A and B are shown apart, each in its own frame.
Chain A
Amino acid sequence: MGREEFLFLLAGLKWTVALSVVAFICGSIAGLIVALARTSGIFIVERLTAGYIAVFQGTPLLMQLFVVYYGLALIGIQMDAWAAVSVGLTLHASAFLGEIWRGSIEAVPRGQTEAAKALSLGYVSRMKDVVLPQAIRISLPATIGFLVQLIKGTSLASIVGFTELTRAGNIISNQIFQPLTVFGVVGALYFLMCCPLTIYGAHLERKFLTASR
């Protein structure tokens, strides 16, 4: 595998990173809304978001990407592959992050909310100043774990013709007939992205364990 081919893989890597970042940022914003809706105490809102989460947790990501890519085209919304997979991954991430953060919000001791209420803090301040800062700490290991899954999940975007790292590897492999070498390099590139995150997640977990003692 020559320099040209490697640079082509790096171009694919760039899109993998871009897709991961967009899906994670947009998914976090939507996921926060999902988590707040899921803990709102309003029955119908909680049921609806529980259903939303169940749908995305109960179906394969690949199918979700298909539905967004072909389904939206069917109802007249034309999107290029980049936009479609971004939307698909964002929805996917919002459901999973929403569920992770719901658990974290509920893991913050009830006395915290009671103290905030007794001090006449309103809902927004109670969440922003008291509950969420603690919930985020609790959720960090699981959130980073999901981010790693999400990075690897972007490889499924190759199926709708979006040239990210995996599809770039496929193209090169078909050109130079060295699948083992090419996908070895592709795998190493994924590993270089994900492994530091995993280590960072484990580090945070240890840090909060000692901090909470």
Chain B
Amino acid sequence: MNQTMNSATTTEPMISLSGVEKWYGAFKALDNINMSVAKGEKIVLCGPSGSGKSTLIRCINHLEVYQKGDIHVGGIMLGHGSKTIDAVRREVGMVFQQFNLFPHLTVLQNCMLAPMRSLGLDKAQAEDRARTLLERVKIAEQAEKYPAQLSGGQQQRVDIARALCMRPKAMLFDEPTSALDPEMVKEVLDTMIALAEEGMTMICVTHEMGFARQVADRVIFMASGAIVEEAPPAEFFSNPKHERTRKFLGEILGRH
């Protein structure tokens, strides 16, 4: 993935977090998070459940409120007012564990809604864009169906296409394969790999270590709301520095 590193021509990172902290009451969910993601960079976030990795990426598009620190996305400083929040959300797409497709709309309508409502595209433009992207995730022939008529893997690919219809500068993946039956994981990962190869900036919360090895520029390991360790995948898997990382890798790789 070295060629994508070179494509980061601007010095300004695509996404940066500095000193981000979040509490749920007395519980500290995120502890002094500092991280910077360059344009075109692919990050895999992993860690035990409850370590704050989902919370972290949900802060980036302000689905979660954080109490301290700064987040910048594509040059926009994320404030707590609706104006910058909307601006940031137009720049980053998110793919959910449970897909969260709109069940009362067809696949095509799911993809057309946001470009029409928040980018102001007209119907023909939105449909054109939606069909192109459904084609790209190889699901164009299902455009007129409703989400409930699709398999989990197909729904997740539609979710990816729906996010891409906003032409985001970066994509956040929140455990995109965790809710899928095993035989459907591959088709979703293949879609994500293709996206990575096109140079998309990606932050993926996932336990798919094969994907991390193949695609990630850096793997970030979190535990108890803090970043414990980060390294390029080769180094991360062969030579983890921290005891907690070793224990986690032992558990997760031991299962496969």
Contact = CB atoms under 8 A, between A and B. Distances in A.
B100 A111 contact: yes
B162 interface: yes
A114 B118 contact: no
A119 B89 contact: yes
B63 A114 contact: yes
Q: Which has the most chain A C-beta neighbours within 10 Å: B61, B101, B103?
A: B103
Contacts of A121: 113-114, 117-118
A114 B63 CA distance: 7
B90 interface: yes
A111 B166 contact: no
Given A118-B61, A120-B90, A125 B96 contact: no
A105 B113 CA distance: 20
A119 B167 CA distance: 11
Interface residues on B, range: 20 to 34
A120 B118 CA distance: 7
A118 B100 CA distance: 11
B4 to A, nearest CB: 24
Contacts of B148: 211
B103 A134 contact: yes
Q: Is the interface of A mostly helix, strand, loop or mixed?
A: helix
A193 interface: no
Interface residues on A, range: 10 to 19
Contact of A119 (B103, B104, B113): B113
B104 A133 contact: yes
Q: Which has the most chain A C-beta neighbours within 10 Å: B93, B98, B104, B162?
A: B104
B61 A125 contact: no
B201 to A, nearest CB: 16
B117 A122 contact: yes
Contacts of A112: 100, 102
B94 interface: yes
Nearest to B117: A125
A137 B148 CA distance: 16
Contacts of A122: 86, 117-118
A196 B163 CA distance: 44
Interface in A103-120: 109, 111-112, 114-120
B162 A119 contact: yes
A181 to B, nearest CB: 49
12 contacts: A114-B63, A115-B100, A119-B93, A119-B114, A119-B118, A119-B162, A120-B86, A121-B117, A125-B118, A134-B102, A134-B104, A137-B104
